[in-house]
A = this chain, B = another copy of it.
Amino acid sequence: VEPLKVGICGLGTVAQGVLSVIQKNTALINRRAGRIIEISVVASRNPRPEVDLHGATFSNDIFEIPLRNELDVIVELIGGEDDASKVIKLALENGKHVVTANKAVMAIYGEKLLQAASASKLSLGFEGAIAGSVPIVMNLTEALIANEYELIAGIINGTSNYILTAMEKEQKTFQDALREAQDLGYAEADPKYDIEGVDAAHKLSILSALAFGTSLNFEKVHIEGISSITLNDIKYAELLGYSVKHLGITRRAENGVELRVHPCLVSSEHLMSRVEGSMNAVLVSGNAAGETLLAGPGAGALPTASAVVGDIMRAARSNFMPITVGESGPHILPIADAINPHYLRIPSLDRTGVFAKVATILSDYNISIDAAIQNEQIAVDEGDEGWVPIVILTHAVSESIMVEALEKVQKLPDIVGSITRIRVEHLGTDSK
């Protein structure tokens, strides 16, 4: 068999990881792939003479690589959206298999790119785009393929999870935890993309399309980040038996598909609550398999390279199936239709009768209370100026009703600050 000739566009962290994995596992990779996998050329606009290309040639023209006749596979690792999608498009047009770890490109242009790949019987692998070495794409599209999917819920942004874990385990404030994440290189200097949920929304829109056959609906994802979560919320959640996790959730409901990224209270009994630090985890609930959970390193050069090289090897073995999305799927439900229990933290004047007033309003909207805490002692920087937090856990209620009720509560003269509301997500543990 001829060697498989690969061109890599990009020479950043992940590209270097790919070079390194192929170098150190050469013998087993060639044996398992059934042919030699040869990195012929690496292209980047930023030459890095210090990187050992292990015999590959270098080009500074990323757009030339997809056109080269001798190449079988183009690996897109340049990041960004426009140039990356152009490279992928060119490669598919020129009959090359493509592997990418670019979630933004897949979330925005993925549908057309997958159609193009499928029409030309080419592989478009993107396992590395979602959760590092966690093989969620293959599990959704192959291993669990006999299932009607009911729910995909995942910790799919390692930076956010790192920060929330540092808050929970080390009692750090959000700001301190963020700074620590930045110092350790987990968070970018401008961390908005991660902590405001955009990165997770990119990944979730891909997972939702894979699971439910919907279009790639990045623009319809309801997105909330973690910057409004305080250490107090984490402590109250813990008292109530929950951890605060930032989840991407997509669920098949009666009239459509839910698609939302936001902080959640997750039961401390559920495995998901124990996924810590920069680790990622995705729970898949199917009507035959029950709930399976896949966890592992969600980012990093080598874990992402593990997924990328796996995709290259599948192309080498011609062992891939077309992935189609957007064919048949149900529509995306607005966030107003989501039904969840809610955690509420209501800053109120420290006087009798306030709780009763709040409870009365909730009751008027048929929102029942599951648990409540009024305990100043665990609060940090609260209660200093004559106010106390009322913490309430409600039973499940539709988002729109909750929002309406809270508007009324917020207007009570006893309420001295903005109400914090966090959805509670019951992930369950039983197979159905």
Given the known A-B contacts A289-B302, A319-B319, are A32 and B294 also in contact in the complex, defined by CB atoms under 8 Å? no
Does A295 belong to the interface (CB within 8 Å)?
Answer: yes
Min CB–CB distance A24 → chain B (angstroms): 7
Find A142's partner among B293, B303, B319, B432 (CB 8 Å cutoff).
B319
In the assembly, what is the distance between CA of A29 and CA of B302, in Å? 35
Find A133's partner among B289, B319, B429 (CB 8 Å cutoff).
B289
Interface residues in A35-63 by Cβ distance below 8 A to B read none
Does A70 belong to the interface (CB within 8 Å)?
Answer: no
Interface residues in A10-37 by Cβ distance below 8 A to B read 17, 21, 24-25, 28-29, 31-33
Query: Which B-chain residue is minimally distant from A29 (CB atoms)?
Result: B146
Find A289's partner among B28, B306, B314 (CB 8 Å cutoff).
B306
Q: Given the complex, which residues of B lie within 8 Å of A429, measured CB to CB?
A: 277, 279
Does A317 belong to the interface (CB within 8 Å)?
Answer: yes
Chain A interface residue count, CB cutoff 8 Å, equals 59
Please tell me if the beta carbons of A296 and B289 are within 8 angstroms of each other in the complex: yes
Please tell me if the beta carbons of B146 and A135 are within 8 angstroms of each other in the complex: no
Does A275 belong to the interface (CB within 8 Å)?
Answer: yes
Does A253 belong to the interface (CB within 8 Å)?
Answer: no
Find A431's partner among B289, B295, B302 (CB 8 Å cutoff).
B302
Q: Given the complex, which residues of B lie within 8 Å of A148, measured CB to CB?
A: 24-25, 28
Q: Given the complex, which residues of B lie within 8 Å of A265, measured CB to CB?
A: none
Q: Given the complex, which residues of B lie within 8 Å of A431, measured CB to CB?
A: 133, 296-297, 300, 302-303
In the assembly, what is the distance between CA of A169 and CA of B289, in Å? 26
By DSSP majority rule, is chain A's interface helix, strand, loop, or mixed?
mixed
Query: Which B-chain residue is minimally distant from A286 (CB atoms)?
Result: B306
Query: Which B-chain residue is minimally distant from A25 (CB atoms)?
Result: B148
In the assembly, what is the distance between CA of A252 and CA of B80, in Å? 39
Q: Given the complex, which residues of B lie within 8 Å of A25, measured CB to CB?
A: 146-148, 287-288
Min CB–CB distance A303 → chain B (angstroms): 5
Given the known A-B contacts A127-B143, A143-B138, A319-B142, are A297 and B291 also in contact in the complex, defined by CB atoms under 8 Å? yes
Copies of this chain assembled into the complex: 2
Which of A33, A138, A143, A320 has the largest count of B CB atoms less than 10 A from its CB? A143
Query: Which B-chain residue is minimally distant from A277 (CB atoms)?
Result: B429
In the assembly, what is the distance between CA of A432 and CA of B302, in Å? 8
Does A378 belong to the interface (CB within 8 Å)?
Answer: no
Q: Given the complex, which residues of B lie within 8 Å of A31, measured CB to CB?
A: 328
Does A400 belong to the interface (CB within 8 Å)?
Answer: no
Does A326 belong to the interface (CB within 8 Å)?
Answer: no
Please tell me if the beta carbons of A292 and B133 are within 8 angstroms of each other in the complex: yes
Min CB–CB distance A293 → chain B (angstroms): 5
Query: Which B-chain residue is minimally distant from A141 (CB atoms)?
Result: B32
In the assembly, what is the distance between CA of A227 and CA of B310, in Å? 41
Please tell me if the beta carbons of A310 and B274 are within 8 angstroms of each other in the complex: no
Please tell me if the beta carbons of A296 and B290 are within 8 angstroms of each other in the complex: yes
Please tell me if the beta carbons of A296 and B296 are within 8 angstroms of each other in the complex: no
Does A67 belong to the interface (CB within 8 Å)?
Answer: no
In the assembly, what is the distance between CA of A295 and CA of B319, in Å? 25
Query: Which B-chain residue is minimally distant from A274 (CB atoms)?
Result: B274
Does A305 belong to the interface (CB within 8 Å)?
Answer: yes
Min CB–CB distance A309 → chain B (angstroms): 4
Q: Given the complex, which residues of B lie within 8 Å of A303, measured CB to CB?
A: 288-290, 431
- Encode A311-326 as 1/0 by CB contact (under 8 A) with B: 0111001011100000
Find A306's partner among B147, B275, B302, B312 (CB 8 Å cutoff).
B147
Min CB–CB distance A310 → chain B (angstroms): 5
17 more CB-based (< 8 A) A-B contacts, given A25-B148, A25-B287:
A32-B145, A127-B143, A133-B290, A133-B431, A138-B143, A139-B143, A142-B142, A142-B319, A146-B312, A271-B274, A288-B302, A289-B302, A290-B300, A290-B303, A295-B295, A319-B319, A319-B320
In the complex, 8 of the A-B residue pairs with CB atoms within 8 angstroms, ordered by the A residue number, are A133-B289, A135-B139, A146-B305, A147-B306, A288-B306, A290-B296, A293-B295, A294-B294
